[in-house]
Homo-oligomer: A and B are copies of this chain.
């Protein structure tokens, strides 16, 4: 409340670092904010999707067993361009053409003016089924394979006193954004406009151009108010937007498609399940001499973003530790389930779960406590990572580790809990901010500032998905320009109005897009020569400034060798979790998580804390309850009654501490925060269970798994 009251008074003062009022706050609390499901256009049709009920096979025939009057019907034959969902590879069809590769694959699209009529639709499909690939370890199809190598692994193991091995598994995870996927496609002028709940307007734009065989200027993508994304609206909206656009172009009428929860869970992407094997050489006093990691990701039926998920997963696989001899090898393979895709953390939660449980096991074998074994190996300024990236002078994992141990009085508390049903666990972790490797260079993101009568208008396609992008970017602009925050206008992301500032993913928006805006604002400020925007407008009318991304000097990346600066910078964090275990039922109750994070300069303390808390809560679900049960390639528990995310009552107290070490190339020193908290919660909780004697090596640590681990312990 204090923060909110203060926000009202914030005008011409510098606003970075202050909890200003959210740009989207008032509309959201008053109900004025409009989501896709709120939109109703003249002549609107509602669309629906007929999907495969088998996980692999050929389509023998399709019969429409209902009165089709008034329906628009689209099949693969109606696609004007390429039948492909354009992302990394061109392997995924927009609509199945002859064969299906997973349950839920779209075969036919239908639209009708009366939503209720869609319930009467009866379509019979005859298949010639084929044997599906279910186990990733048995998959004959590798989508992508990557190796990171440093030093001489043989030498490293030779230097070791001890080799510790282990296998760790993580399951699917459902995004469960509060708003399901939804788009509205509006035909007109020989082209299409798509409004959608989405993270990456230009991804959708590109996919539509290819699918519909339309030139860029005939396709417009506009983000509507979006109720959460978590990566689930990075890739999937390209599928859904294509479907709605096909129906809209065929019918000549606006078409809305909004999934209900069951359809969203059954048909859209999930977090990649992983199997990670560690073989680690270590000296008796606890120094790592060799790290050998093997990662296998389950990609599902199509490539989507799997290669980059694998890449990020491998780059985070060692955890934030130094070691001279490293080999990380990984593959992502095809199975016949709905494709897995982007999800907060993007491969890193899987591999760091393995790294951090493994680190506790190393400590146990050496008789070192969890803090000691980590302190000995934590990356410090000047150290190099697996790719050779050197840790900055104000970087590294040590500081957050020590701060977390100090704040939680880790050792004392652990001693105090000994013999009780409460356990304490720690996880030390990091997260690379921005696109991997030369990704940002390839993106060539642009951001525009345009003078208005009153202030400035920001032209970016960064999306507000609840995380606060609109607010943070406006804070950066207001501060750099020295104008009131209220005078910075943040229109919705619209490909026809703003340049491509890159996708809203990879914890890059504040750091990268914010930095572009900071530079644009400083430039604009020089051009104002001491005048206010209003004065300048009156004198000269509109001015606009566009900035394009250029990499900070000295950053190098070799994509072939996987050597160099994998990320411009890294955020660092340490979680300490205290849990209570019911040894009879196996039910784990997380009591408190302390999260100490270095995300660089904090632009908006309330929202940054919100990101940490939300991500940690999502990690609690990942750790304990969120289990996707796949049966014959179909999610068998696609409902909120048996896919369990933490409710408020299940979420522990979360204590967030920021260690602000500014990053010189981020907006006002900011790094990323969105994904970081997803990486640490699960290993911290599982390590707390270890301290209670439960040797859990897979998440979610369901009561069954915990009881099993206890019985073996």
Q: Does A32 contact B (CB under 8 A)?
A: yes
Which residues, 117 to 152 on A, are CB-close (under 8 Å) to B?
Answer: 117
In the complex the two chains form, what is the Cα distance from A44 to B34 in whole Å? 9
Q: How close is A476's CB to chain B, nearest CB, in angstroms?
A: 21
Q: Are B32 and A114 in contact (CB under 8 A)?
A: yes
Which residues of chain B have C-beta atoms less than 8 A from A195's C-beta? 42
Asked if A39 CB lies within 8 Å of chain B CBs, one says yes
> How close is A491's CB to chain B, nearest CB, in angstroms?
9
The 8 Å CB contact of A486, one of B27, B69, B117, B184, is B69
The answer to whether A42 and B39 touch (CB under 8 A), given A114-B30, A115-B32, is yes
| Chain B nearest Cβ from A462, distance in angstroms | 18
A113 beta carbon closer than 8 Å to chain B? yes
Taking the closest CB of chain B, its distance from the CB of A218, in whole angstroms, is: 13
Interface residue A40 (Cβ < 8 Å from any Cβ of B): yes
Q: Cβ of A416 < 8 Å from any Cβ of B?
A: no
State whether A492 touches B32 (Cβ < 8 A): no
Which residue of B has the minimal Cβ distance to A30? B114
Q: Is A691 an interface residue (CB 8 A)?
A: no
Residue of B32, B114, B224 near A42 (CB, 8 A) is B224
A352 to chain B, nearest CB (A): 39
CA distance A195 to B43 in the complex (A): 11
On chain B, the residues within 8 Å of A189 by CB distance are 189
Q: Closest chain B residue to A37 by CB distance?
A: B40
**A70 and chain B: residue at smallest CB distance:** B26
Given contacts A69-B486, A189-B189, A486-B69, contact A222 B42 (CB under 8 A): yes
- The one of B26, B41, B113, B222 in contact with A39, judged by C-beta atoms closer than 8 angstroms, is B41
Q: CB within 8 Å of B: which of A659-707?
A: none
A335 to chain B, nearest CB (A): 38
Q: Is A560 close to B, CB under 8 A?
A: no
A65 is an interface residue with CB less than 8 A from chain B:
no
Which residues on B sit within 8 Å (CB–CB) of A43? 34, 492
A697 to B677, CA, bound (A): 84
| CB contact list, A32-50 vs B, under 8 A | 32, 34, 38-44
**A189 nearest CB neighbor, chain B only:** B189
Q: How far is the CA of A584 from the CA of B116 in the complex (A)?
A: 54
**Shortest distance from the beta carbon of A226 to any chain B beta carbon, whole Å:** 12
Q: A579-593: which residues lie under 8 A (CB-CB) from chain B?
A: none
Residues in chain B near residue A114, CB distance under 8 A: 26-27, 30, 32
Give the distance in Å from the alpha carbon of A492 to the alpha carbon of B43 in the complex.
9
Are B222 and A30 in contact, CB atoms less than 8 angstroms apart? Answer: no
Which chain A residues numbered 194 to 237 have a C-beta less than 8 Å away from chain B?
A: 195, 222, 224
Can you report 29 A-B residue pairs in the complex whose CB atoms are below 8 A from each other?
A26-B114, A27-B113, A27-B114, A30-B114, A30-B116, A30-B117, A32-B113, A32-B114, A32-B115, A32-B116, A32-B117, A34-B40, A34-B42, A34-B43, A34-B44, A38-B40, A39-B40, A39-B41, A39-B42, A40-B40, A41-B41, A42-B184, A42-B195, A42-B222, A42-B224, A42-B492, A43-B492, A69-B486, A189-B189
Residues of A within 8 A of B (CB): 26-27, 30, 32, 34, 38-44, 69, 113-117, 184, 189, 195, 222, 224, 486, 492
Given contacts A32-B117, A189-B189, 16 further A-B contacts (CB under 8 A): A26-B114, A27-B113, A27-B114, A30-B114, A30-B116, A30-B117, A32-B113, A32-B114, A32-B115, A32-B116, A34-B40, A34-B42, A39-B41, A41-B41, A42-B224, A69-B486
Query: A-B pairs with the 6 shortest C-beta distances?
Result: A32-B114, A42-B195, A32-B113, A40-B40, A39-B40, A38-B40
